[in-house]
């Protein structure tokens, strides 16, 4: 799915930033951890296969399902795989959510401050200043191996296809 075909509630939206594609070098980005320290994509996921789970807001039902799903799947995957969920929620809201839902097997980080991830990977919904829903899988050499821009932001991503791609890299 190309980023220019994404809809939110059935209405087309504009995704700002560079569209990321399979084969691209994954750009480093910075986000904010729940303790307000800096998350550095390259440094904090070094020598790992990376699953970036992108969601608009952790406090919505579909985002909650997506985050909980990957938290559970993380326990079944190799230690070589790092799952990072990124939203524009404030780190305080993410910390509250993770505590309430028992999210402890994945990293949940915030792009609220600079939209660094969203701009570099083409996931910023211009109309709402939220991230669109999707998944990006990056190998240990920081090459993009899988990209899903979910066509309808209110729908869940294709978990099975993403995990198939991860298992090819393990």
Say how far apart CA 170 and CA 11 lie, in whole Å. Answer: 38
**Burial of 30 by CB count in 10 Å (0-12 exposed, 13-18 middle, 19+ buried)?**
middle
**Per the structure block, which two tokens stand in for 133?**
């829903």
Q: Which of 63, 109, 153, 162 is flagged as catalytic?
A: 63
**Burial of 79 by CB count in 10 Å (0-12 exposed, 13-18 middle, 19+ buried)?**
exposed
Q: Which residues of the chain form beta strands (DSSP E)?
A: 7-8, 11-12, 15-16, 30-32, 38-40, 49-54, 81-87, 107-110, 124-125, 130-131, 134-138, 144-149
Is 98 considered catalytic here?
no
Where in the sequence numbering do the catalytic residues fall? 63
């Amino acid at each position: 799915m190309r980023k220019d075909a994404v809809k939110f509630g059935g209405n087309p939206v504009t995704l700002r930033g560079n569209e990321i594609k399979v084969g691209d070098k994954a750009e480093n980005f910075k986000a904010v951890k729940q303790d307000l320290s800096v998350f550095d994509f390259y440094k904090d996921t070094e020598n790992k296969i990376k699953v970036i789970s992108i969601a608009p807001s952790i406090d919505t039902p579909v985002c909650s399902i997506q985050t909980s799903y990957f938290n559970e799947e993380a326990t079944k995957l190799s230690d070589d795989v790092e799952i990072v969920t990124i939203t524009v929620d404030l780190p305080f809201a993410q910390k509250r959510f993770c505590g309430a839902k028992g999210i402890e097997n994945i990293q949940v980080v915030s792009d609220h401050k600079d939209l660094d991830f969203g701009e570099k990977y083409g996931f910023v919904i211009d109309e709402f200043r939220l991230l669109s829903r999707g998944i990006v899988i990056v190998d240990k050499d920081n090459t993009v191996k899988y990209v899903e821009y979910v066509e309808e932001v209110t729908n869940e991503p294709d978990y099975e296809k993403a995990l198939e791609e991860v298992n090819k890299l393990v």
